[in-house]
Homo-oligomer: A and B are copies of this chain.
Amino acid sequence: MDAVFKALADKTRRRLLDRLFIEQGQTLGQLCDEMAIRRQSVSKHLSVLERAELVSVIWRGREKHYYLNPMPLAEINRRWIDKFTQHSSDAVLNLKRAVEKTDGPGRHEDSSDDTT
């Protein structure tokens, strides 16, 4: 689980997943095209994705073909994101109530500075 979040934290790796979504079974070489980094770096990224089981690998001769494995994402969805977004209306309500209650003592001028 931690490995999956860590793997998703990098832009390049998310891009690789995107490219595999468009066309699965691409080789390392193919995935290197249009990437501004070296093959070895791409390979490292793919290992990270592999360890997180976000991609599966099939060797065909000397070529390594990569495939998406959506299961970890589904898992994250189920065990993590749903948990928070389900009760989103509750959360907003709580926040609203809290804001109203805030008008008591002390400063409250820089509340809700969500533009940072």
Contacts and interface: CB of A to CB of B under 8 A. Distances in A.
Interface of A: 2, 5-6, 8-9, 11, 14, 17, 21, 24-25, 50-51, 53, 56-62, 65, 67-71, 73-74, 76-77, 80-81, 83-85, 87-88, 91, 94-95, 98-99, 101-102, 104-108, 110-114, 116
8 contacts: A8-B9, A9-B9, A25-B98, A56-B112, A58-B99, A59-B110, A60-B108, A73-B81
A94 B57 contact: no
A68 B5 CA distance: 19
B114 A91 contact: no
Contact of A91 (B9, B70, B105): B70
